[in-house]
A and B are shown apart, each in its own frame.
Chain A
Amino acid sequence: MLIKNSVEILFFLCRKIFSAAVALFVIVSLTFFLMKAIPGDPFQDEKALPKEIHEQLRKHYGLEDSFSKQYIRYLSSVVKFDFGPSLKYKGRSVTSIIREGFPVSFLLGVEAILIAVGMGISVGTFAAMNRNCRLDHGVMILIAIGISVPNFALATFLQYFFAVKWQLFPVARFESFFHTILPAISLAALPAAFIARLMRGQMIEVLRQDYIKTAKSKGLRDSEIIIKHVFRNALLPVTAYLGQLTGSILTGSFVVEKIFAIPGSGQWFVRSVMHRDYSVIMGLTVFYALIFMGSILFFDLVNFLLDPRLRENSAAKLSFRRSY
C-alpha cells in the first residue's frame, strides 16, 4: 500500500511541476517582452548624456544586440539566476539586491502568514460554534471590514494611532521584533478575514453532514466530534487557499514596506519599476514568480496528501464475496 501511495505522489508531483514550469516559462518570457516594449531605457532620466557615452553604455549593457540574442541571453541568465548588475545602481548585482532585501520581506511575510492563519482559524471556528447569535453577527461584520479595508489603509491607520499618536510601537524601520508587529498585522488582516470566512463556512457545512450524526450516534463527546471530525474536514479547503495567500502577502508587502520604511525586496521592486531598472525588474519578477509558484505547489501537495479522495486508488477497489 505504501509503495502504491508513493508512486501516486510522485506522479502527482511530476504533473504539477511540469505545469508550473510551463507557466513559469510563459511568465518569464512575457516579462522580457514587456520590458523590451517600454520605450526608452534606464539612462534617459539622467542629465543629458552625450550621444557617444549613451551609445557606449547601451553597448556595454548589451542593449544594442539583436532581439533574439538578448532573449537567449536572458533565458540563460534566468536558468543560472544571474541577472547581472543593476542598471541604476551601478556596481550592485541584481542577485545581491535580492539577497539583501528578501530575507527581511520573508521574515515579515512568515510572521503575517502565521498571524493570518492563527487568527483566521480561531475566529472562524468561534463564529461557527456560536452561529446565528450576536457574537457570530459581530464576527461577520468584522470579517466584512477586514476584507474591504485595503492593507495600505490599515497600515496608515495603525501607524498613525498606535505609533505616532499613542507611541505604543515604533513608527518605522525594521530594527527589532516590535518593529515587525504593526506591518505584519497590516499584511495579515485581509488573509485572516478570508480564512475566517472560509473556515466558518466550512465548519457549518461539515456540521450539517451525515457523518456527524453517525459520530453522535456512536456516543462520542461533543469535543471529540469537533476535533476528530469537524475540524480536520473543515480545514482542507483552507490549505488550498494558503497558496493564494502567499501571493496576497507578497504584493501587499510593496505598500506596507513603503509605509513603514522597511528595507525589503518590495521596496526594491517598486523603486526599480519607477526607474526602469530592467535587470532588477526582471530578476525580482522571476524571483517572485518562483516563490509564488513554489508555495502553490507546496500547498497543492499538502492538500493532495491530506485528502484521500484525490488519489485514484482504482486498483484498490476491493473484491467482494457474494454469499448468503
Chain B
Amino acid sequence: MSTLLSVKNLSVRIRSRDIIKNISFAMDTGECIALVGESGSGKSMTAHALLHLLPDDTSVSVEGTVLFSGANILEMTKSELRSFRGKEIAIIFQQAQSALNPLMRVGTQILESVLTQNNFSKQKGKEIVLELLEFVGFPQPVETYNSYPHVLSGGMRQRIMIAIALACNPKLLIADEPTTALDVTTQAEIMKLIQKIRTEKNMSVLLITHDLALVSGFAEKIYVMKDGEIVDRGTTDYIFYESDNSYTRMLLAQKERWSCNVR
C-alpha cells in the first residue's frame, strides 16, 4: 500500500500564537485514521490547513509540507489547488446547517460540486446527483434535490454534505467532527454511512473528532492531539489498551465515565 498523505512538520501560527506546533503524520491508501483531541487542540485547524483553506491574510502563517500522492499542497498555485479540492480530497464540516447555502436548492449545491471538476452536461450531472442522493440514503431523491436546506433535519443535512464531498469520487475524505452537532441515533447512522463509503467506494478517511467512542470501531490508527501537538500515536488497540500516555489515559477514562452514565 502506498502512502497517500504525508504531513511533515506542519506548523500554523495565527497572530503570533502557535496553533499547530510541528506535527507529522502519514496515511496509506485505503486506511482510515483518526485525529482525536479536546476542543482547542488544533485538530480542526489541521483539517483546514491540509486543504489550504485557512484565510489568506497576513495574520496566518503556515509552514511545513503536506504531500498528497507526491504533490505538496501547501505550495500549489491557486488554480492547481482548485482542481485538487473536491477531486482528490474532499472535506465535510461540523455544522452542516451553516455549511449549506440557505438560498440554494440542495441538489444544485451538489450539482455544483459535480460540474466544477468535470465537463459533464447538466443533464448527466443531475443524474449523478440523484444517484448520490440515493446512495447516502434519501428514498426520494427528486424531492430532496429540489428542497432547501432549512426543511431538512440535521442528519439529512449532514448526508447532503457527504453527497457533496463524494461528488467527484475523491481519494481522501476528511470528516471534521461530522457527528458533533447530531443526536446519538443520527450519529450512529452517519458513521454507518461513512463506513459504507469506505467499503463500497474504497475511500480513505481522515476522521477528526473529540469522541473516542466514535473511533473505536472505525479507525486503524489514532493520533492524539493536545494544544497543537501530537502527544500519542498508534493503532487503535494500542491506544485503547496499551498506551501509558497520561493524556490518553485521561481521555479514555472520560469516555468510560460517560458510557457508564449513558447505560
Are B85 and A218 in contact, with the CB atoms below 8 A?
A: yes
Question: Could you give 29 example pairs across A and B, Cβ below 8 Å?
Answer: A210-B98, A210-B99, A211-B101, A214-B164, A216-B53, A217-B51, A217-B85, A218-B85, A218-B164, A218-B167, A219-B81, A219-B82, A219-B117, A220-B116, A233-B101, A233-B102, A233-B103, A306-B103, A308-B103, A309-B148, A313-B148, A318-B147, A319-B140, A320-B139, A320-B153, A321-B137, A324-B189, A324-B192, A324-B193
Partner-binding segment picked from B33-41, B89-97, B120-128, B203-211: B89-97
A236 at the interface (CB under 8 A from B): yes
Contact A229 B101, CB 8 Å, known A216-B53, A320-B139, A320-B156: yes
The yes or no answer to B143 lying at the interface (CB within 8 A) is yes
Q: Does A209 contact B (CB under 8 A)?
A: yes
| Contact call A214/B137, Cβ cutoff below 8 A | no
- A216 and B116 CA atoms in complex are apart in Å by 11
B54 vs chain A, min Cβ distance (A): 10
Known: A219-B86, A318-B140. 7 other contacts (CB 8 A): A211-B98, A214-B100, A214-B101, A215-B101, A221-B82, A228-B112, A318-B147
Render B117-155 as a binary contact track against A, CB cut-off 8 A, 1 for contact: 100000000000000000001111001101110111100
Binary per-residue interface labels of chain A (211-254) against chain B in the complex, 1 for a CB within 8 Å, 0 otherwise: 10111111111100000110011001000000000000000000
B113 CB within 8 Å of chain A: yes
How far, in angstroms, from A84 to B250 measured CA to CA in the complex?
Answer: 88
Closest to A224 in B: B116
Q: Which residues of B contact A210 (CB under 8 A)?
A: 93, 95, 98-99
Chain B hits for A309, CB < 8 A: 102-103, 148, 150
Q: Are A307 and B84 in contact (CB under 8 A)?
A: no
User: In this assembly, does A48 line the interface, its C-beta being within 8 Å of a C-beta of chain B?
Assistant: no
B78 and chain A: residue at smallest CB distance: A222
C-alpha gap A146/B87 in the complex (Å):
47
Cβ of B201 within 8 Å of any chain A Cβ, yes or no, is: no
B151 engages A219 (CB within 8 Å): no
Residues from chain B with Cβ under 8 Å of A313 in the complex: 148, 150-151
**CB-CB nearest in chain B for A132:** B57
Q: How far is the CA of A216 from the CA of B150 in the complex (A)?
A: 21
CB of B83 within 8 Å of the partner chain: yes
The residue on B at minimum CB distance from A212 is B101
Interface residues of A (CB under 8 A from B): 1, 209-211, 213-222, 228-229, 232-233, 236, 306-309, 313, 316-324
Q: Does B255 contact A (CB under 8 A)?
A: no
Known: A210-B95, A214-B161, A309-B148. A319 touches B139 (CB 8 A): yes
For B137, the chain A residues whose CB sits under 8 A away are 320-321, 323-324
Query: Does B196 sit within 8 A of A, measured CB to CB?
Result: yes
* A316 & B82 in contact (Cβ 8 Å cutoff): no
Q: Which residues of A contact B189 (CB under 8 A)?
A: 322, 324
**Chain B, residue nearest A308 (CB):** B148
State the CA gap A309–B85 with chains docked (Å). 30
Pair A236/B103 contact, Cβ less than 8 Å = yes
Given contacts A217-B85, A308-B148, A316-B147, contact A321 B100 (CB under 8 A): no
For A220, the chain B residues whose CB sits under 8 A away are 82, 112, 116
Taking CB as reference atom, which chain A residue is nearest B48? A213
Nearest chain B residue, comparing its CB with the CB of A206: B101
Q: Which residues of A contact B192 (CB under 8 A)?
A: 324
Select the residue from A229, A308, A317 with max chain B CB neighbours within 10 A: A308
Residue of A nearest to B190 (CB): A324
B164 partner residues in chain A, CB cutoff 8 A: 214, 218
CB of A309 to closest CB in B, whole Å: 5
Bound together, the chains give a CA A309 to CA B144 distance in angstroms of 16
Q: Which residues of B contact A215 (CB under 8 A)?
A: 101, 112
Q: Is the CB of B156 within 8 A of A318?
A: yes
Which residues of chain A have C-beta atoms less than 8 A from B109's C-beta?
A: 214
